[in-house]
Amino acid sequence: LTLSCKEKELVGEVPSARYGHTLNAVQSRGKTAYVLFGGRSYMSGVERTTENWNSVVDCPPQVFLFDLEFGCVSAHTLPELHDGQSFHLSIGREDCVYFIGGHSITSDSRPPRLFRLKVELLQGSPLITCQAFDNGISVSSCVVTRTGPRHKYIILGGYKFDSQKRMECTEVTLDEKGIHFEALEAPKWTPDISHSRTWFGGSAGEGKALLAVPIEGRVSQSESHCLYQVSFQTQDE
Which of 7-16, 89-98, 224-233 shows the lowest per-residue confidence on average (mean pLDDT)?
224-233
Instruction: Look at 21-25, 63-67, 84-88, 197-201 and tell me which has the smallest mean pLDDT.
Output: 197-201
Angle at 110 between CA 167 and CA 22, to 5 degrees: 90
pLDDT surpassing 80 at residue 223: no
Closest among 192, 172, 168, 191 to 181, alpha carbons compared: 172
Antiparallel, parallel or unpaired: β 11-12 and 72-77: parallel
Q: What is the pLDDT of residue 50?
A: 74
Residue 153 has pLDDT above 60, yes or no: yes
Which of 35 and 198 is assigned the larger pLDDT?
A: 35
Predicted model pTM: 0.88
Q: Which residues share a beta bridge with 75?
A: 64
Question: Mean per-residue pLDDT for 13-19?
Answer: 94
